[in-house]
Structure 1
Amino acid sequence: MIFSAALYLLSLLAVTRSQMQIQTFWPAAAPLAVHSPYLNVWQTAISTNDYPIFWNGSVLGWVGFIRVDGSTYRWLGNNYDMSGSVGAVGCNVTFTEVTPTRTIQNVQAGPMNVTLTFLSPIEPSDWVKQSIPFSYLAVEFASTDGKEHDVQLYSDISAEWVSANKETVEWSSNQTDTVVYHSIVLEQPQPFTEAYQQASDGTAYYAMSLGSGPSAGWQTCQNTVCYETFYASGALNSKNSNDTYRGITTDLPVFAFSVDFGNVSATQSPVVWAVGYARDPSIEYSLEEEVTTLRPYYSTQYSNIEDVIEAFVSDYDNALSRAETLDSQVQQAAANVSSGSEYYNMLSLATRQAFGALDLTAPGSDGSIRFFMKDIGFSNRVNPVESLYAALPVYLYCNSSMVKSLLLPLLEQQNASSYTSNYAAKDIGEISNPQFVCVRPLLTAPSGTSYPSVSGPTAASNEGVEQSGNMLIMVLAHAVNAGDSSLLGSYYALLKTWADYLVTNALHPSNQASVDTRDVASNSTNLSLKGIIGIQAMSNISSMLGKDDDAQHYSSVASQYIGSWKALAMSSDSSHILPTYGDSSSDWSLSYNIYAHTLLDLHLLDDTIFSSITSYYQELLSNYAYGLPIDSDHDTLGSAVWTSFTAAALTDASTRQQMLSHLWKFASSNTTTYPFPSRYAVSNGSYLHGTSGPGCFVCAVGTE
């Protein structure tokens, strides 16, 4: 009696919670399983829960049903490919919440209120856990009438998870003492290659704990066969599996699980599935003509993937607790910067995207730990410097020590004798077809790709000021925040080369390309400011290493340059910063590079400049629905990340709040079907490019 009463209370609490929650944030896409460049799964139809997609739009079959008293309801995926009268009724999605680690949904399935928790762990302080390319799906339910019902659950993934090219796949179902899992792989995997952004050399996994009960079943079969079996009986049987390997489009293979609860009014604990996409080795790394392969960081603790799966599945409760703690910390930090939930909403998307772009690799033969970023949303470049710079604040906030492993490959590649440019490279691996940077990246593919192969640094003379400034700023920010000057000492000569380049080129940058528009121009005020800040950063680096003469030299140059810059860059009434020297006073730019001055706590600029641009931007905001464009010459191009950087540097909390609210309006506008993009049209909120990018929106958490 007490047990039944407890279950009934749980049912009432679940119904009450569902009724009380009012959704205010409607992102165009919600992250479901976003943990690496190749486990990057989103839901673009959060009100109906259609089939999820890979970040670039390729459909990934992921299906979920609940069977209640013989009636089947669909809570994930679609069954439009079913014929005749066989099919499931779509659940009513009543609420969706996105946090930095979770997407939580309430759906109504007849007399059952179902809670779905898609958990992609972010483990910045545990690199073994962070490197495991798996995510959780947890399902709970409670009856809305307090009565018991006959309930079964079903979920599967399809072979689409291993290829967008619909190639032939192989699979197996495996059982250990604690878990059962499906594994799917291409019949002919291609090492370190991609097809339509999906890797061609990995294995997809779907797993669950055998602790889910003796009524758990699993089966591999054609999708319609598995669906009809579950509709009819509520159970699957591995003895009926179809193990005929075939092409993905031939009788679409799915890999399914079922759980029969019998007559219950609520779950006592969630049913948990783990989904993953693993590659080992994960990076091909070339340095000084020597090519090696780097394994995922989790290989330092686990000798095989089965051990990884067992550990991951069994860790759900602890992983959930850690996720809730991280979510709470980010939420509180966001509240310290901007009141309300809007800033936190955007950080929830951006944090997931920043960590979902990374591969963490184990120490190589030299003992060095290297992390790699894919330029998701723009290209296949490896460790793109401007994207790393854009995502820097979130890595500094979560664990500044991570930044060292992201910078190390860039530094050691350019410290090699084969790199002869006196400015910083823009990446360490570039696509062979630059035109891939396009507006609609859904199903386009470059003629050749780089990630996950590191081919070497890409020197671009028309980005010399941009990338040299970025690198000096990031190296100093890491050293200060992590209390670790090892990179400064090891690569001092290289850093000094870049600083000397800036001494020659920063004040009057000539023929430099914008990383936002690709326009080539001279005397960009924003770019010049970044270069001058980079020179001052070198002064601080020299000072940290006790190189006082160098410190004095670079500080003197930066001070001299900033005086000239103010005379050239400010409007005639000193109210705002011009796009380029000599522009009309009616022209203006979004001076996002001023944020680096705040990040590094420099004293080159006086407070009056910050106050002036704050007032000026406050007046401009009323003219735009979705935030300010990057400058008056590109009056429709908005940048989520540069808007957030600018907001972080403003002196007035009200203006900062207003700028972030305009950006939140875009993030919640649902005018696009793409994961939170970096670039958009400020006029109508439409998508331009940079979907799901690592540097999408990463304002300085805890600026105040």
Structure 2
Amino acid sequence: MKTFLKCALAAFAVMPMAAQTPEIFQPYKDTQLRLPSVPLVVSDPYFSIWSPYDKLTDGCPTHWTSDEKPLEGILRVDGKNYRFLGAKNTVFQSVVPMGDEMAWNGKYSRKAPEGKWMNPDYNDYSWKEGKGAFGSNENQFIRTPWTEENSDLYVRREFDLKPADLQGDLFLVYSHDDNFEIYINGTRVAQGPAEHKEEVKLELTDDIRKLLRPGKNVIASHCHNNGGGALTDFGIYRNVGVEDSSTPKAVQKDVDVTATSSYYTFECGPVELDLVFTAPMLIDDYDLLSSPINYISYQVTSTDGQEHDVQILLTASPKIAQNKQAQSTISTLEEHNGVAYMKTGTIEQPILAKTGDHICIDWGYFYMPAINGTVSLNTDAAIKDSFLRTGKLPASKKEIVAKNASENPLLGYVHDFGRTKRGASYALVGYDEIFDIEYFFKRYKGYWAHNGSVSIFDMFNRLNGSYAQIMNRCRDLDRRIYDDAFNVGGQKYAELLSGSYRHVIAAHKLFTDDNGTLLFFSKENDSNGCVNTVDLTYPEAPLFLVYNPDLQKAMMTSILDYSRSGRWTKPFAAHDLGQYPKANGQVYGGDMPLEEAGNMLTLIAMCCKLDGNANYAEPYWDILTTWTDYLVENGQDPENQLCTDDFAGHWAHNANLSIKAIMGIAGYAELALLRGDKATYEKYNKIAKDMAAKWEASAAEGKKGDLHYRLAFDRENTWSQKYNMVWDKLWSTGIFPAHVMPAEVAYYLKKQNQYGLPLDCRKDYTKSDWIMWTAAMSPDKKTLGKFIEPLYDYVNETETRVPISDWYDTVTGRKTGFMARSVIGGHWMPVLAEKLGK
């Protein structure tokens, strides 16, 4: 056994600390935008931790799915403690377990029951018996299927309690999808919105606790499934976490979000604390773009001119490496290259075993090293008690196995500033997924690992040794993204894009296959969990077309190779490559022929125009020709096909889908021109223009001053966003008559609500990505601003506290569906239009 493991003190590694200038703790620009959820530690769809609160101390950080991923922080100043990160720690011990811990018995009805069905004495003899949880199969703990859309589920769960069960800090925990209400012994105690929510925690107040009694109790719930996934699960838990209740919250003074970093400032008595969370996702450095390691920088400054004795505590939980809290974990203290690392993960380690949506990773390991500080692996109580009393960590355990959530340890990190007027340092945290993705039945690590030749510890060493340089490069990217947006659309647009960058990048996985081909796969978060979905690749494209078109190609190459391999034989592009993290072929239940063929042709044309040649398209020319001819044959007046906005209900004769086909054909013509094939260019360019002329005649409605174009050719008194038309402006191709685009933009301005332009005339909801595509058709900056302002207000004011929802209601500002999706890369479309215009 190595000496450092025997040491009675917490493990410590002496590492040279890079010089930290005050500039590191100042954002490039102060920002006013209140993001609905602030990125803290983000890397990919799994290693993704956010704060969905106005203040960092208002609650526990979460994964984008809302699952808790506890990070905590306490600053000790002259013996007094101030919490600056996370809420009071909860370590739950089950009293009435949920479905992730056991199959519980319940009675259920699919029809609305008569009478007081939620009361303990209700006669539920005619109800069916089932095992919890209830819902759709995308949740691994579902034991009673419930999948029908627009349907209801009523559940009654009877259980006995002993007097001892009613002691302590009790919580009702529940999960639901969608609308939800829950009762304890006949009294409603909570309601849930029309969203997917997992493990919502309701602390039982004195009034609610009185509803429970020794002996028989009943919890009853009603859930309505609007569509997609369905879920009902609930239980009661006791918090056995320990913390000095007298620890006050630090006073949060400011929060600013730039492209790569989130900046917080706190008042902790006579000391000011600056805290910076940085994901070094540099878009031109693939090692850093794919790195699963983030920085947490911290600085303390005396505000009274006196020296103060200061220590900072950062803690993490094994929950970061769990999909569900019932999973057993193993946490260890190890040494690598002379550095002590705390490591935690599940015992099961089901590598790449789970596919789908609303799941968190439960394979691989989370790491917190003793870089610039001491570390200790111990119980929550031991670490908190020691730090709160002495500012130091207790002796570290070598290994802790936790069979349930209440036994989970804490990973503690402390930096001791000693007596100081000003001090600064940083910590690093990271996650090694072992294998990150499966691509046609072969497993791959992320790009940063260079096919296994670089270890996670090598990456920690690199990021530690290059801290100052990397932070400066991050600031340069923050500046570039802010300034590009500011020059196009002003301050609010700059803040919107600054708050969108990490959100987009963190929904991807970058790697290379066995041939060295660069591949960049998205996960369709919060929709169906598909990998590399073409109709996500399309709306998110502007960000990558502006800053790194090779990443755009890296999203499309696999779809092209899928067709070239013969695995996909249809005359249009596939919808997806599988369900994340397994990219073994399309799994989506319905094709989107015009949608995906048009998307691919348009994006390939854009990439090649940026290159100034058709080299990228050349190996796939036969495939592109087949797709184009499909568009020619079927795109003028679409049949009842699915499109990317299928959630809105798909109508035949969709005018915007026809535009997509027309611009896909025009894109193929542009590719032919780049190849030097003028005859093919002229042929398909003419076809596109002829189709556009017929489109204009078929879709036009209204007279001068009110001219606009229908949602569907055969539907009078309708309208819709024609965002697919923006390419005609970007390419200066003149495919559509010159008056069409200005007429549409003028009409849209009459249809805006408080929080933006609806998607079409059927509903008040919209898509934020399509708003900015549509806005890019604006004739001037003033008009563009009229689209930006309400979108900014939505992000700034929405009550739905999740990573930006791209599908929301323009009247209420609430999420309709979707969150944390890469499609908000579409917010960069006006920047792309400006770039091409120059």
TM-score by length of 2: 0.75
Q: Which moved more, 1:200-209 or 1:226-235?
A: 200-209
Alpha-carbon deviations, 1:213-244, whole Å to 9, x = none?
xxx3210112222111100110114x342623
1:469 aligns with 2:598: yes
Equivalence for 1:197:
359
Question: Cα distance, 1:458 vs. partner?
Answer: 4.8
Q: Secondary structure at the match of 1:668?
A: helix
What's the CA shift for 1:669?
Answer: 0.4
**CA offset digits 1:638-689 (Å, max 9, x no partner):** 1110001101111132221011100000000041111111100111100112
Query: Residues 494 and 14 of structure 1: is their aligned pair in 2 closer, same or farther, counting only changes over 3 Å?
Result: closer
Secondary structure in structure 2 of the residue aligned to 1:198: coil
Match of 1:508 in 2: 637
**d(CA) in 1 for partners of 2:516 and 2:62?**
37
* Secondary structure of the corresponding residue to residue 708 of structure 2: coil
Assess if the C-alpha contact under 8 Å between 2:329 and 2:345 holds in 1.
Answer: yes
Of 410, 414, 417 in structure 2, the residue corresponding to residue 258 of structure 1 is 414
Question: SS of the counterpart of 2:822?
Answer: coil
1:48, distance to aligned residue in structure 2 (A)? 4.1
- Secondary structure in 2 aligned to 1:107? strand
One-letter amino acid of the structure 2 residue matched with residue 666 of structure 1: Y
Amino acid at match of 1:319: I
Quote the Cα distance in structure 2 between the aligned partners of 1:333 and 1:83.
Answer: 48
Matched, 1:628 2:779: no
Tell me the equivalent position of 2:44: 36
Where does residue 233 of structure 1 map in the other structure?
390
Note the 1:171-320 alignment, pairs <5 A.
171-176=331-336, 179-194=339-354, 196-209=358-371, 212=372, 216-237=373-394, 239-241=395-397, 243-267=399-423, 270-286=424-440, 291-300=441-450, 302-320=453-471
- Assess, with a 3 A threshold, how the Cα gap between structure 1 residues 148 and 133 changes in structure 2: closer, same or farther: same
In the alignment, what sits opposite 2:676?
546
Deviation at 1:179, TM superposition (A): 4.0
Candidates 563, 566, 590, aligned match of 1:414: 563
- Against the structure 1 CA distance between its residues 235 and 85, is the aligned structure 2 distance closer, same or farther, given a 3 Å change threshold? closer
Q: Does 1:588 align with 2:719?
A: yes
1:650 equivalent in alignment to 2:778: yes
Which of residues 45, 60, 63 in structure 2 aligns to 1:51?
60
* Matches of 1:599 and 1:458, distance apart in 2: 33
Number of residues of Structure 1 aligned to a counterpart in Structure 2: 653
Distance 1:458 1:414 in 2: 15
- Looking at structure 2, the residues matched to 459 and 491 of structure 1 have their Cα atoms a distance apart, in angstroms, of 24
Distance 1:313 1:607 in 2: 56
Are 2:329 and 1:169 equivalent residues in the alignment? yes
Separation in 2 of the partners of 1:180 and 1:649? 55
Contact 1:509 1:528 in 2 (8 A): yes
Matches of 2:289 and 2:333 in 1, distance apart? Answer: 26
Query: What is the CA distance between 1:597 and its match in structure 2?
Result: 2.3
Which of residues 356, 367, 392 is equivalent to 2:516?
367
Answer yes or no: is the 8 Å Cα contact 1:134–1:276 preserved in 2: yes
Deviation of 1:419 (Å): 1.8
Higher strand share: 2
In terms of fraction of residues, the more helix-rich structure is 1
Query: Which whole-Å CA distance do the structure 1 matches of 2:243 and 2:283 have between them?
Result: 49
Measure how far apart 1:459 and its partner are. Answer: 7.0
Q: SS of the residue aligned with 1:457?
A: coil
Q: Secondary structure at the match of 1:513?
A: coil
Task: Tell me how far apart the structure 2 counterparts of residues 598 and 183 of structure 1 sit (CA, whole Å).
Answer: 52
SS at match of 1:649: coil
Q: Rate the CA distance shift 1:346–1:599 in 2: closer, same or farther, 3 A.
A: same
- Judging changes above 3 Å, is the alpha-carbon distance between structure 1 residues 538 and 222 closer, same or farther for their aligned structure 2 residues? same
Amino acid in the other structure paired with 2:429: V
Matches within 5 A, 1:275-674: 275-286=429-440, 291-300=441-450, 302-339=453-490, 341-362=491-512, 364-429=513-578, 450-458=579-587, 463-483=592-612, 485-518=614-647, 519-573=649-703, 575-584=707-716, 586-621=717-752, 624-634=753-763, 636-674=764-802
Residue pairs, 1:66-145, within 5 angstroms: 66-81=75-90, 82-83=241-242, 85-145=244-304
When the two chains are superposed, the root-mean-square deviation of aligned CA atoms in Å is 2.3
8 Å contact from structure 1 (residues 350, 694) kept in 2: no
Residues 461, 249 of structure 1: CA spacing in aligned structure 2 closer, same or farther, 3 A cutoff?
closer
- Cα deviation, residue 93, structure 1: 1.2
Matched to 1:358, the amino acid is H
Q: Which amino acid aligns with 1:279?
A: E
Unaligned ranges ≥5, structure 1? 1-9, 430-449
Question: 1:207, CA displacement in angstroms?
Answer: 2.6
Structure 1 residues 607 and 320 mapped into 2: Cα distance closer, same or farther (>3 Å)?
Answer: farther
Asked if the contact 2:332–2:343 (Cα under 8 Å) also holds between the matched residues in 1, the reply is yes
CA distance in 2, matches of 1:552, 1:417: 30
Distance (whole Å) between structure 2 residues aligned to residue 24 and residue 351 of structure 1: 16
- Residues of 2 paired with 1:657 and 1:141: CA distance? 40
TM-score of the aligned structures, taking structure 1 as reference length: 0.89
CA distance in 2, matches of 1:147, 1:691: 46
- The equivalent residue for 1:439 is none
- Asked whether the 8 Å contact 1:208–1:313 carries over to 2, the reply is no
Q: What is the aligned partner in structure 2 of residue 445 from structure 1? A: none
Q: Deviations for 1:396-453, whole angstroms, at most 9, x for unmatched residues?
A: 1121111121111111112222322111111111xxxxxxxxxxxxxxxxxxxx2111
Aligned-pair distance for 1:460? 6.6
Do the aligned partners of 2:31 and 2:257 also contact (CA within 8 Å) in 1? Answer: no
Write the letter of the residue equivalent to 1:203: Y
Whole-Å separation in 1 of the counterparts to 2:500 and 2:556: 20
> 2-side partners of 1:458 and 1:169: how far apart?
32
Q: Secondary structure at the match of 1:90?
A: coil
Counterparts of 1:486 and 1:457 in 2: how far apart (Å)?
27
CA distance in 1 between counterparts of 2:485 and 2:30 reads: 21
**1:425–1:459 Cα contact (<8 Å) kept:** no
Distance in 2 between the 1:22 and 1:314 partners? 28
- Residue 665 of structure 1 aligns to a residue whose secondary structure is helix
Three-state SS of the structure 1 residue aligned to 2:644 is coil
> What CA distance in whole angstroms lies between the structure 1 residues aligned with 2:746 and 2:676?
40
Contact kept? 1:414, 1:457, Cα under 8 Å: no
The one-letter code sitting in structure 2 at the alignment partner of 1:160 is K
Task: Supply the distance in 2 between the matched residues of 1:262 and 1:651 (Cα, whole angstroms).
Answer: 59
Which SS does the other structure have where 1:627 is aligned? Answer: coil
Measure how far apart 1:208 and its partner are. Answer: 4.4
Instruction: Give the 3 Å change call, closer, same or farther, for CA 599–203 of structure 1 in structure 2.
Output: farther
State the 1:300 CA deviation.
2.3
Matched residue SS, 2:418: strand
Question: Are the equivalent residues in 1 in contact too, given 2:323–2:362 (CA < 8 A)?
Answer: no
Distance 1:395 1:178 in 2: 39
Larger radius of gyration: 2
